[in-house]
Structures are given as C-alpha cells and as structure tokens.
Amino acid sequence: MSWKEIYQERLTTAQEALLKIKDNQRVAVGHACAEPGYLVDEMVSMKEHFHNVEIVHMVAMGKSEYCQPGMEEHFHHNAIFVGGSTRKAVAEGRADFTPVYFSEVPKLFKTTMPLDAALIMVTPPDENGKVSLGVSVDYTKSAAENAKLVIAQVNDQMPFTMGDSMLDVSQIDCFVEHSAPLVELKPAVIGETEKKIGENCASLIHDGDTLQLGIGAIPDAVLASLKDKKDIGIHSEMFSDGVVDLVRAGVINNSKKALLPGKMVVTFLMGTKKLYDFVDKNPDVLLYPVDYTNNPVVVAQNNNLVCINSCVQVDLTGQVASESVGYKQISGVGGQVDFVRGAAMSENGIAIMAMSSTAAKGTVSKIVPLLDEGAAVTTNRTDVDYVITEYGIAHLKGKTLKQRARALIEIAHPDFRDELIKEYERRFFCEYHKAA
C-alpha cells in the first residue's frame, strides 16, 4: 500500500479514534505548545466512555479539564512536570507527580511506564509520507514509537520542523484532521530585577559560547543582554522568540559549536507565530528527541557551554530547590539536572542558577538558611556551580561550606542578610564579620 492509501484508510473522526482507548489504560499526551487540544477536548467531552484512564504528560498549557473536580472516576492525571493548570490537582491529591529527568522519559515509556496509547499533534504528510512532530519532539516521538495505539491530530498550522522530528504515516494508527492555531507563549515582561539578572548572566557569556536557556523572564532578559556578543550557539531543551531576534541580529550563528556547527539543537519550542514561522522547514533548527538533546553525555560535547536555569530556593550550602515550594509541587525536574551535569563535563562549561533574590512580592528571601520543610532538592549542592541574583554572582563550585554561605549572603537581598548572617554564625561557630 502507498503512504497515501495508508493515510486515507486511517483517516477517521476523533470520536471513533478515541473509543479505541479502554478503561484503566495509560495514555501519553503531547505537551506544551504541541498539545493536541482538539483530541483532548473531545476525550473530556466523551468522559462517560472512560473509567480510570491515566493521562501522562509534562508541561500543561491547555485547560487540563481531565484533572478538575468531578473527573476522578474517568481520568487520573500522572504529571511528569506540573504546570499552571495541573498544580491545584496535584496539590489537592486528584493528580499524582512522578519525578523524572526529562532525558529519561523516553526510557520510562520503554520500561516501567509502558503506554497503551499516545495522543499527538503532527503536520500533514510531506511528499514522502512523513509527518513532522513540529514544535515538540521531546518525549512525544518516543511515546508514538512505544504506544500500542497512536492517534494524531493533523494540524496544517503546525510548523514542519527538521531533525529527528518525523514519523512515517505507517507509524500512526488514526489520523484526525483538525486545523487550529498553536498555543502561544507571549514574551515575558522584563522588569528592572530581571534586567539586572540578565546582565549578570551575560557577564559570564563569551563570544563563541553555546547556550542552554529555560522559559520565562530571566532567559528572555539574558538574551536581551547579548546584543553585543557574537558567534553564539544554541543547544537547549527549548527556546522562545528571543532567539529569533538574535539570529536576525547576527549574534547567534552557531559557527563555533563543537557539536553540529551551524545548527541550533533543541527538543521543544514555545513562543508565538513569529517563532513557529521561523522554524518551519528551517534546516538550521534541528529538533531531536529529548534522550539525545538532554543526554548529559551529548550536552557535554558542546565546549564552552553556558546553561542557565532557575529555582525557587537555595540554602546556605548551595542545595537548590527548583520544583517545589515546601510540599507544594509547582513544576518538575525537567531538564535542569541533565544540563547541569552536561555542563560539568563540557570543556569550559558552566551552569548558572539565575533567580530574583526574593519571592512573594519581596516578602521572602530565596536564599535561605534551610530549605522549606517538604522541598525537593532538584540540583544538589555538589552539582551546583554559579548562583546569580540581581545583587551579583556567587561561584560555589569548589568552595567550602563556609565560603559558599558567604558568597550567597553577598548576593541575598539586603533585607534578609542579617538573618542569614545569624544562621552562618550559628552553623559555623564563627563571627561573620571576622572570618576570612
């Protein structure tokens, strides 16, 4: 059968395809800006047909109605990263959280978390019968390759991305055509604090370095501070619109990258139509599965790698909590540790934790004597390298506990330094102002 015949034969409606999912099965759903929103909405509207169906995904950008009150009998959400629309469900016990490094999610789907079904979003097929996973290859490719049933929303508004981002039509069981604009992540608002943090980070970035950046105002502020740099490269878990501006300004050209020179390497993308148009059939932007992009051994092949991630608390010894505020799970490990470990093995690589010095409108310090009870240590103190706030840069790697505490107190918000100094003196049996 030709690919066109296969496609026609497997073209169906959402209802027909979704009815193939049975009670008590596990379903992985594509995430972030590639969530197959039409399939998910239809599945929720057909809830009476489903009992105890487990829904697994990472970044939730949609409504996540399957984990709202009243859905318990039909669906159970297992979050491998918690987002805005799933936080409450996890906090209230309606959903579960599974800790996992992003790089290891594909392996989970082959081992301890086998999938009955995958709901994904793809482009229409090209002339060779290949569909692209577009802006989200990450775990989605592995989910499609390992699930017993693959249902794809075919969306002609999904950009056709390059790299290891394609599936053959024969790998998909049901095609449901539905055109819809992709979810957009608008550029973050950069305030004075983020601007200062961005400048502090930029002071550690040199011409020719390769960058990994996360989501949000701080990564955007870092990019905004790089306008005078040159030959910057990208090997990242994700990137947003800010990268497009720097490519157009000639700052990012990937020319000095040790691994895949000339190419930007990434596993998912979140931004606006500007980004989606930029990556469409762009041979210089390669999307690969996350067990490649985030594999620390692959990450380490990039010399002069600068990884920039964020966190919610750092204790005085350098333990970093990034995914929970006390007991409350607010996100996940994601790719943070993958890149911190990769940077440690990269020649001249460094890893930065960049954060504002305070949270909750300035009422709490993010640099704390002890992490809140219940907090998960995301990056441990042996792995932590640089911590940056709007007040400066603390380099912790290779430093004693006392030296770390002093460096962190220097970049804490001035309103909280006395309290931290008291803890320093209690913990280390010495006067802060006398000690060297």
Nearest distance from C-beta of residue 166 to ligand COA, angstroms: 24
DSSP 3-state of 42: helix
Nearest distance from C-beta of residue 5 to ligand COA, angstroms: 41
Give the binding range for ligand COA (CB under 6 A) out of 115-123, 320-328, 382-390, 399-407: 320-328
What are the phi and psi torsion angles at 354 (to 5°)?
Answer: -110, 130
Give the binding range for ligand COA (CB under 6 A) out of 151-159, 244-252, 296-304, 327-335: 327-335
State the burial class of residue 198 (Cβ atoms within 10 Å of its Cβ: 0-12, 13-18, 19+).
buried
Query: What letter would DSSP give residue 170?
Result: G
Q: Does 331 bind ligand COA (CB under 6 A)?
A: yes
**Amino acid at site 257:** K
Q: Does 238 bind ligand COA (CB under 6 A)?
A: yes
Query: Is residue 237 annotated as part of the catalytic site, yes or no?
Result: yes
Which residues 176-215 are close enough to bind ligand COA by CB under 6 A?
214-215
106 vs 335, beta carbon nearer ligand COA: 335
Query: What letter would DSSP give residue 181?
Result: P
Give the binding range for ligand COA (CB under 6 A) out of 128-136, 139-147, 306-314, 399-407: 306-314
Q: Which residue from 304, 324, 226, 222 is spatially nearest to 259, judged by alpha carbons?
A: 304
Number of residues that bind ligand COA (CB under 6 A): 22
Q: Does 364 bind ligand COA (CB under 6 A)?
A: yes
Q: Does 216 bind ligand COA (CB under 6 A)?
A: yes
| Residue window 83-122: x/- pattern of binding to ligand COA, with contact defined by CB under 6 A | ----------------------------------------
Query: Rounded CA gap, 124 and 39, in Å?
Result: 16
Residue pair 351/212 in contact by the 8 Å Cβ criterion: no
How many angstroms from the chain centroid is the CA of residue 2? 37
Residue pair 35/62 in contact by the 8 Å Cβ criterion: yes
Q: Does 309 bind ligand COA (CB under 6 A)?
A: yes
What are the phi and psi torsion angles at 78 (to 5°)?
Answer: -110, 105
Query: Rounded CA gap, 420 and 372, in Å?
Result: 15
Q: Going by DSSP bridges, is the β-strand pair 117-122/174-177 parallel, antiparallel, or unpaired? A: unpaired
Structure tokens at 193: 């604090």
Rg, the chain, Cα only: 22
Nearest distance from C-beta of residue 381 to ligand COA, angstroms: 17
Query: Rounded CA gap, 352 and 311, in Å?
Result: 10
Query: What letter would DSSP give residue 252?
Result: B
Which residues 253-292 are close enough to bind ligand COA by CB under 6 A?
none
DSSP 3-state of 184: coil
- Find the helix packing angle between 401-411 and 414-428, rounded to 10°: 170
Nearest distance from C-beta of residue 172 to ligand COA, angstroms: 28
DSSP 3-state of 119: strand
Nearest distance from C-beta of residue 12 to ligand COA, angstroms: 35
Query: Rounded CA gap, 353 and 311, in Å?
Result: 7
Q: Does 352 bind ligand COA (CB under 6 A)?
A: no
Q: Does 235 bind ligand COA (CB under 6 A)?
A: no
Q: Does 360 bind ligand COA (CB under 6 A)?
A: yes
209 vs 323, beta carbon nearer ligand COA: 323
86 vs 310, beta carbon nearer ligand COA: 310
Q: Does 376 bind ligand COA (CB under 6 A)?
A: no
Residue pair 201/298 in contact by the 8 Å Cβ criterion: no
99 vs 261, beta carbon nearer ligand COA: 99
Q: Does 39 bind ligand COA (CB under 6 A)?
A: no
User: Which of 53, 89, 221, 311 forms a contact with ligand COA (CB under 6 A)?
Assistant: 311
242 vs 335, beta carbon nearer ligand COA: 335
Nearest distance from C-beta of residue 124 to ligand COA, angstroms: 29
Cβ-based neighbour number of residue 281 at 10 Å: 12
User: Which of 80, 223, 305, 325 forms a contact with ligand COA (CB under 6 A)?
Assistant: 325
Catalytic residue among 35, 42, 194, 237: 237
**Amino acid at site 113:** M
Q: Does 366 bind ligand COA (CB under 6 A)?
A: yes
129 vs 216, beta carbon nearer ligand COA: 216
User: Which of 104, 323, 385, 390 forms a contact with ligand COA (CB under 6 A)?
Assistant: 323
Structure tokens at 105: 């999610």
Note the residues at the interface with ligand COA (CB under 6 A).
214-216, 237-238, 309-313, 322-323, 325, 330-331, 334-336, 359-360, 364, 366
Residues marked as catalytic: 237
